Structure 1
Amino acid sequence: MEIPFLMPLVLSLLLFSNGICQSLAARPPVVNIGSILQLNSTTGGVSEVAIHAALEDINSDPTVLNGTTLNVLMKDASCLDGFLGMVQALQFMETDAIAIIGPQCSTIAHIISFVANELRVPMMSFASDATLSSIQFPFFVRTAPSDLYQMAAVAEVVDYNHWKIVTAVYIDDDYGRNGIAALDDALTAKRCKISYKVGFPANAKNSDLINLLVSVSYMESRVIILHTGAATGLRLFSMANRLNMMGNGYVWIATDWLSAYLDSNSSVPADIIYGMQGVLTLRPHTPNSKMKSNLISKWSSLSKKYNHSDLRLSYYGVYVYDSVWAVAHALDAFFNDGGRISFSNDSRLRDATGGTLHLEAMSIFDMGNKLLEKIRKVNFTGVSGKVQFDASGDLIHPAYDIINVLGNGMRTIGFWSNYSGLLSTVPPEDLYSKPPNTSLANQRLYDVIWPGETSQRPRGWVFPSNAKELKIGVPNRFSFKEFVTKDNVTGSMKGYCIDVFTQALALLPYPVTYKFVPFGRGTENPHYDKLVQMIESNEFDGAIGDIAITMNRTVIADFTQPFIETGLVILSPVKKHITTSWAFLQPFTLEMWCITGVFFLVVGVVVWVLEHRINDEFRGSPRQQMITIFWYGADLHLLTFISCIYVNSVSHC
């Protein structure tokens, strides 16, 4: 009786155990991930140590991948030589790696992103170029904040200090150009602008950099944004110090390359740190945590183990460490969902005649889309904080530390967070639990020690030494010379309008070079419409004079507020009035007296016609009736006459 009942149970157990075996069998013993770095650079060295640190922690914990060992295949790709770095990276893509950590260079990242899309290999890159979007490159996963957010933070600092124009100095590659383009957009949103852009190649000579800095010193703006790499950036600071461009009046804002260099190097030469006193820089914000403290405590032994004992943990290392962990968590979910690792040849790597492109060793990761989906959905707390991607593929809650280089180190003067878009002295993680506060009144930074060891905020601009002389058009009038005219003796322009202009310039805190250019021959009044048109055609930089503000002129030129108020006026000829006791009779002309007499008789006749049949006073002899007519006519006109005299007397007074 029990055997039929036990048979289904045994079969179900067998099927269940077989499913478990198949699930376990789907997990390979070793999974390879790749890494493309420039190992001889500071960033590459820190990233290498961080990758090995993450692999040791992952592989030592059997609960992460359930027995699967994660292995890394590293490739040294040069960032300085774009072509060589591209070839090295393409050669590395021939390996069967299920994910790539890197590359660190935006130039190589652009090339490899196309390959990653074709081979369906997720690329966990910390390249900050904002144009590397998940829309064009769906397999590109940015595991560090984008320059889009960094430049928004820079623009916020510029606006906070009430500067309106900046000078941008950048390395002329994808990283530099696209970063400055993002800065331009962010400044425009704050009603600021880049007044001067100057780029330089990665292999620029010292003489070229000196010429660059000299051209910058001639410009109006004294707020300089430096977006470059560490090697060239340090050279620029050293040269700027020798050119006295690190003193009072200058503002230097370096992007996150400077904080990465200072964080990574255990001993910065004294002459280098001395040459950048007062500089502001940014660092991606990573909150303090026990995980971060543990990684810092064992970093020294790890860096010695992998021959980078002179490097300390920087934010690059933190993001790379979490990138490897993100791959591990995604792989675990990938295997749990039945994912398998297999590769197939790409038929599109052969031409129509059957020949090969010599790239046949590259293989497509068959289930790369599924692994990418798991990576996009990871949600854990890492060393850098919350590791979670938004809909656009960026890490949530990007934030930056605002740092002031001072003495032998750096001092944090505040934070910027995309959560509220404001500067604050409160750490961003303390704000995430509160509603976003977008009030500009809450912006605050600690005091800054600016270049020149001053705490007074620099004005941010000077009048450029190479500025052209302004040409000011001045009407050379024939009449009303009190407003503006040409002195025939000295040849200079004078008048009320000239005095207003010179007094206004005296109030400016900087000099303005100009010259007056007479417009007209002085024998007749010039046509002011033509003068305004010459401003539009850039023949004149401006004009001074009694120029009326009309509708057609405001279309082509801007006017100041009127400094001579005329108001509404009526023009009439001047007539001399004689004041006498009979002045009230002056408005009564002969025509008016005649008309008054006619109306005198008409009114009397009308009254007689209406009254003589019913009123006895209007009857009698013809002589008596004529006297009555004149009497009533005179009575009515007398009242009218008195009224006219009164009105005329009042208006005359």
Structure 2
Amino acid sequence: MSSHFYVNKPKKLCLRFPLNIIYLFIILSINGVAAQNGSTKVGAIIDVNSRIGKELKAAMEIAAEDFNNHSDSGKLILHFRDSGRNPLVAASAAEELIKEQKVQVIIGMETWQEAVLVADHVGNHSQVIPVISFAAPPITPPLIQRRWPFLIRMASSGSAQMKCIADMVTAYNWKRVVVIYEDDGYGGDVGLLALLSEALQDGGAKIEHHLVLPRVLSSMSNPNWTELEELLKLPTFQSRVFIVLQSSLPTVTNLFRVAKKMGLVGRESAWIITESISSLLDPQDNYDMEGTLGIKTYYANKSSAYDNFQKEFQAKYSEEKNSKPGIYALRAYDTITIISQAIERMPSNTTSTGLQGLLNTLLSNYKGLSGNMRLKEGEALVDSPRFRIVNVVDGKMDEELNYWTPEVGFSESLIGANRNDGDGKQVIWPGNLKRAPKGWAMPTTEKPMIIGVPGKTSFSKFVSVEYKDKPYENTYDGFCIQIFYKVLRRLNYSLPYEFHADNATYPQLVEKVHNKTYDALVGDITVLAERMDLVDFTQPYMGSGLTMIVPQVSDEQATWMFMKPFTWQMWVVTSTILVYTMLIIWFLERPTNPDFGGPLKDQIFTAIWFTFSSLFFAHREKVYSNLTRVVFIVWLFVVLILTSSYTASLSSMLTVQRLQPNVTDIEMLRRTNAPVGLDGDSFVYKYMEEVLQFKLKNLVKVASEYNYTGEFKNKRILAAFLELPYAEVFMNKYCEGYTATTPIYRFGGLSFVFQKGSPLAKDFSKAILELLENGEIKKLQKEWLTPEEECSKNSTSNQSLSLNSFAGLYVISGATSTFCFLLSLAIWLRRFQLQETNGGNASPSNENIWNKTVRIVKFFKLRDLEIPSRAPTFASYVGDWTTPRWGKYSPTSNNPEQPPVFRPLEIECIPVEQTETRV
């Protein structure tokens, strides 16, 4: 039997050999046809049940069909695998596509976690194939190209999108936001959260709360989502601006359903969703998301290529006939198109490495339906990211409002939409609100605003509380309360509130607003830098600064009070002008005026007496020279101005400022360890110790405004330091006997306090500015704080008159005197020359300067005495300006043509002693 077996075995082999030859020929023929046709297998890993996955599948099939229908070089075969957005399932699918289907390219992966695991699996194979992902990391790792050189990302990082969201928050002046995201289990939310936080800080906003939704919620079937409702109830945040970063479709759908049930999707709230969520949503029937703003990538849709693609897409994606292809569909179409072009250029023996190079080359500068792309470090970047801002209106997601780019921000159409002025589409906010929401939990009648009021104040003019048996029956009044009432009347919305009197100190009250015990503070709260880190302040309704109040002592015996009207510079210049004018008058009058004759000593005394007596208009000497009259008229005008000003200033000092403080210098108080009083509950106590360096033992706390006078009388304090508004109240009652300095150190002013990020602070600030501009606060200040008329002048200070006030007057006087002096000197020198010429005493040319100077001086001493023709009268003074009525008598003249002339009447006008002297 065995031998039969061996005998028959060669026969069987002979029979099988022709069959094997035929089979081998068939296989080689098939392979040859396949090689000739160039079929390329592409693996696609997507979430086939999501809207994005359906768009990706339809777009890929359209691109593959277009290529297969028009290409003769080969065919493109797509192999789809469903990952359900599970990274492990995606990695397993990639393994199967490589080993079983022998794919040459893998595309898809809607999340970055899927792309990472797929790239790791592909990199572990001996033959690495290109991987094209439709997702990118929020923050690109620095060594991503070295780790996955074969990975191409057909998406942009999240930085531009987070900047767009931050610009939206800044545009609407929201200061606090709540960020919501679903935990994906891989930490993919961390990068987006960091980018958003940084972008918000650049715009002056911050994240108030993170709401992390567990991924397990997406699989729950409870329609009420009680667990999600508890999560939304847990935090006590005030912000009503919600930003949903990432989430699965079931989670985000039920999130809005529960939030709307809880009243979080209503008036004064705002919801913003990212592109990854807006792309998941159905374009229709999003009624729970009414008023939500979404972000979508912009793409050009006016080309014929796009129109053809849209028709094919709607035909392929028939379940959404009215829908437009999204950015994911366009990127998928461009990806398959790029692969098709690479196949056409690829030689038959090209390896996967060669295909990778062709893809990189094509993407280095590619224009597709999704935009102009260029490959940089494995990321297909669009020239300039551009986003569309869409609004959910009537359940539809595709209501476009405006556009945003990193270079210019929002377009003009967005500004029009914000203003609602007709230039752009109007934004519909949650609750059908037509204006921008406050983004804050606004008070209601059921939950009014809790406002803290200082129950214990040193000055009741600002805030006073009249306590009743029941706290809600307390009555509140004062300067600050009245301002609050006027602000409320200017708001364009109602603001339910409750006052709560609190006896805590001012720093403690500010801390209670910070920890959200109170929603706001109304009172005389000073704006300080350290407080601004905790709360928000409104526009100050009143200025503030540190003022010193001291008792006054009588100054009736001030010895040198008469010197105070002028400064010392003024006294020096006035004396100089007086002496200068005296010398000029003496020089001009000496040749003609007999009152200025005699010895030099008598002449000087006469000139001094004449000039000083003119200060009181009591001069008796007559003036004979016309030039002297010009100088004298200007000098009398100067004297008139000076005496009038001096009298007025001295009168003011003697009547208004009869009291002066006995302490005028803070340095003296500190140096002498003088006790000073202040309000112990205010920040001034700390300021005096830390800034002004006063010792604690010298700081006396004064509980009430009524205790300051007693402290002064008992000498327990020598000075009191109060903020400017309090000093005004004190001086209103005690202006007699006390004086207040101007504010020495300035502070931020008095203001109302709100929680950090509250939009009410801005509304209150605007209303306060309006009250300041129309004078309403000034009226309240006059009613409650401003000193009475008899006290208002006490705070003024009299200053000495300075040289600047009379500089012009002195210049005119000095210039006039100098001009007249020079003119007289020129006339005198001319006479000297004439006398020398007529007398034949011309100076020889070789005469030295000293001899000539001596002769001139001698001539000056022997100048002619011009004697008036008759006794001067007022008429003669007037005539002297035009007609010369002077005779000359010169005992030294030798000119026979000019004999001495004597008239009887004129000689009678000359005193006998003078005539005898001159003869």
TM-score w.r.t. the length of structure 1 is 0.64
List per-residue Cα deviations over 1:469-494 (Å, max 9, x = no partner).
676767743xx664567879999898
In structure 2, what is the Cα distance between the partners aligned to 1:156 and 1:191? 10
In terms of mean alpha carbon deviation, does 43-52 or 145-154 score higher?
Answer: 145-154
C-alpha deviation, 1:209, in angstroms: 2.0
Give, in whole Å, the separation in 1 of the partners of 2:526 and 2:240: 38
**Residues 1:504 and 1:56: Cα distance change in structure 2 (over 3 Å):** same
**Cα distance 1:40–1:538, how it changes in 2: closer, same or farther (>3 A)?**
closer
How far residue 103 of structure 1 moved from its aligned partner, in angstroms, is 0.7
- 2:286 maps to 273
- 8 Å Cα contact 1:46-1:312 kept in structure 2: no
Q: Deviations over 1:536-589 (max 9, x none)?
A: 9989999887788899999999986471578999978254979xxxx999969x
Deviations along 1:402-453, one digit per CA (max 9) or x if unpaired, are 32333364443334243754434889xxxxxxxxxxxx99996411333334
Specify which of 281, 286, 293 is matched with residue 299 of structure 2: 286
**C-alpha contact 1:414 1:423 (8 A) present in aligned 2:** no
Amino acid at match of 1:462: A
Matches within 5 A, 1:117-516: 121-127=129-135, 129-132=137-140, 136-137=144-145, 138-173=149-184, 174-204=187-217, 205=220, 206-214=225-233, 219-227=237-245, 228-257=247-276, 259-262=278-281, 272-288=285-301, 289-299=303-313, 302=316, 314-315=325-326, 316-333=328-345, 335=346, 340-341=350-351, 366-367=353-354, 370-371=357-358, 373-382=360-369, 384-389=370-375, 393-407=380-394, 409-418=396-405, 420-424=407-411, 445-463=424-442, 476-477=457-458, 482=461, 498-499=480-481, 502-503=484-485, 506=488, 510=495, 515-516=500-501
SS at match of 1:40: coil
Q: Is the 8 A contact 1:414 1:424 kept in 2?
A: no
CA deviation map 1:103-162 (0-9, x unaligned): 112322233344556665433222254235685245443324543333333344444444
Query: Contact conserved, 2:342 with 2:355, CA < 8 A, in 1?
Result: no
Partner of 2:792: none
Counterpart among 29, 37, 43 of residue 38 in structure 2 = 29
CA contact (8 A) 1:38 1:44 kept: yes
Deviation digits for residues 570-611 of structure 1 (CA, Å, limit 9, x no counterpart): 978254979xxxx999969xxxxxxxxxxxxxxxxxxxxxxx
Provide the rounded CA distance (Å) in 1 between the counterparts of 2:315 and 2:532. 72
Equivalent position amino acid for 2:160 in 1? Y
Alignment of 1:521-536 (within 5 A): none
**Greater per-residue helix proportion:** 2
**1:277 Cα deviation after fit:** 3.0
Amino acid at match of 2:332: V
| 2:108 paired residue number | 102
Stretch deviating more after TM superposition (562-571 or 125-134) = 562-571
Q: Which amino acid aligns with 1:318?
A: L
Q: Which amino acid in structure 2 is aligned with residue 293 of structure 1? A: D
Q: Is the 8 A contact 1:127 1:142 kept in 2?
A: yes
Question: Helix, strand or coil for the counterpart of 1:275?
Answer: helix
Cα contact 1:423–1:445 (8 A) shared by 2: no
CA contact 2:268–2:442 (8 Å) conserved in 1: no
- Partner deviation per Cα, 1:340-372 (whole Å, 9 max, x = no partner): 31xxxxxxxxxxxxxxxxxxxxxxx55576345
Q: For 2:428 and 2:534, how far apart are their aligned partners in 1?
A: 45
TM-superposition CA deviations, 1:296-327 (whole Å, max 9, x none):
333466458xxx89996631222212111122
Counterpart of 2:651 in structure 1: which amino acid? H
Residue 274 of structure 1 aligns with an amino acid whose one-letter code is Y
Structure 2 CA distance for aligned equivalents of residues 549 and 651 of structure 1: 42
Q: Within 2, Cα distance between the matches of 1:245 and 1:150?
A: 24
The residue type paired with residue 381 of structure 2 is D
> Which amino acid counterpart does residue 131 of structure 2 have in structure 1?
M
Residue in 2 that maps onto 1:593? none
Q: Distance in 2 between matches of 1:186 and 1:27?
A: 55
What TM-score comes out, normalization by structure 2 length?
A: 0.47
Separation in 1 of the partners of 2:93 and 2:412?
44
Distance 1:551 1:233 in 2: 42
> Are residues 213 and 505 of structure 1, via their aligned partners in 2, closer, same or farther at CA, if it must alter by over 3 Å?
farther
SS in 2 for 1:573: strand
Contact 2:374/2:380 (<8 A) preserved: no
Question: 1:444 and 1:110 mapped to 2: Cα distance?
Answer: 45
Give percent identity, aligned residues only: 21
Counterpart secondary structure, 1:293? helix
Of the structure 1 ranges 134-143 and 49-58, higher mean CA displacement relative to structure 2 is found in 134-143
- Aligned partner of 1:46 among 49, 55, 65: 55
Q: Aligned equivalents of 2:322 and 2:512: distance in 1?
A: 60
Per-residue CA deviations over 1:253-311 (Å, capped at 9, x if unaligned) read 333345434567xxx5xxx433333333233233223323333333466458xxx8999
Paired amino acid for 2:297: P
Tell me if the contact between 1:472 and 1:543 (Cα under 8 Å) persists in the aligned partners: yes
Greater Rg, structure 1 or structure 2? 2
Corresponding residue SS for 1:203: helix
Q: How far apart are the structure 2 equivalents of 1:467 and 1:116?
A: 61
Gaps of 5+ in 2: 1-33, 564-596, 618-638, 653-919
Question: Comparing 447-456 with 365-374, which one deviates more in the overlay?
Answer: 365-374
Amino acid at match of 2:196: L
- SS of the residue corresponding to residue 184 of structure 1 reads helix
Q: Which structure 1 segments of 5+ residues have no match?
A: 1-24, 342-364, 428-439, 521-527, 589-613, 620-627
The number of residues matched between the two structures is: 533
C-alpha distance in structure 2 between counterparts of 1:209 and 1:450, whole Å: 23
Give the partner amino acid of 1:290.
Answer: S
Structure with more relative contact order (C-alpha pairs < 8 Å, separation 6 or more): 1
